[in-house]
A and B are shown apart, each in its own frame.
Chain A
Amino acid sequence: MSKEEKKVNRRDFLFTASYTIGAVGVGAVIWPMIDQMNPDKAQQALATTEVDISSIEPGKSITVLWRGKPIFIKKRTSEEIAEARAVKLDDLPDPQKDEDRVKDGKDEWLVMLGVCTHLGCVPLKDKGDYNGWFCPCHGSHYDVSGRIRKGPAPTNMEIPKFEFVDSNTIKIG
Chain B
Amino acid sequence: MSEQEYVPKSKVGKWFNDRLPLLTLGAHLTDYPTPKNLNYWWTFGGILTFCLITQIVTGIVLAMHYVAHADLAFASVEHIMRDVNYGWLIRYIHSNGASMFFLAVYIHIFRSLFYGSYKSPREVIWIIGLMIYLLMMAAAFMGYVLPWGQMSFWGATVITNLFSAIPLVGDSITTWLWGAYSVDNPTLNRFFSLHYLIPFLILGLVVLHIWALHVPGNNNPVGIDIKKPSKDTVPFHPYITIKDAFALLVFMIIFAGFVFFTPNVLGHSDNYIPANPLVTPAHIVPEWYLLPFYAILRSVPDKLGGVILMFSAIFILFVLPWLDTSKVRSAVFRPIYRQFFWILVIDVLMLGYVGAMPAEGIYLVLARVGTIYYFLHFIVVMPVVGYLEKTDPIPMSISEPVLTGGAEPSLARKVNDKV
Q: Which residues of A contact B (CB under 8 A)?
A: 34, 37-40, 43, 63, 65, 67-70, 117-122, 135-139, 151-154
Contact = CB atoms under 8 A, between A and B. Distances in A.
Contact of B179 (A40, A69, A119): A40
A119 B182 CA distance: 12
Nearest to B278: A70
Contacts of B71: none
Given A39-B179, A40-B186, A152-B306, A139 B359 contact: yes
B389 interface: no
Contacts of B178: 39
B280 A69 contact: no
What is the predominant secondary structure among interface residues of chain A facing chain B? loop
A119 B184 contact: no
B277 interface: yes
Closest 4 CB pairs of A and B: A68-B182, A67-B181, A120-B161, A121-B280
B282 A153 contact: no
Given A37-B190, A38-B179, A68 B303 contact: no
A81 B306 CA distance: 34
Contacts of B303: 117-119, 152-154
B380 to A, nearest CB: 27
B279 A136 contact: no
B158 A120 contact: yes
Interface residues of B, number: 37
B157 interface: yes
A122 B279 contact: yes
A122 B154 CA distance: 9
B302 A37 contact: no
Nearest to A151: B301
A67 B183 CA distance: 10
A72 B288 CA distance: 33
Contacts of A120: 157-158, 160-161, 164, 182
A136 B359 CA distance: 10
Contact of A70 (B162, B179, B277, B300): B277
A137 B179 contact: no
A151 B306 CA distance: 13
A152 B310 CA distance: 15
Nearest to B182: A68
Q: Tell which of A65, A70, A120, A154 has the most Cβ of chain B within 10 Å.
A: A120
B158 A121 contact: yes
Contacts of A153: 303
A67 B181 CA distance: 6
Contacts of B306: 152
Given A121-B284, A152-B306, A37 B177 contact: yes
B182 A39 contact: no
A69 B359 contact: no
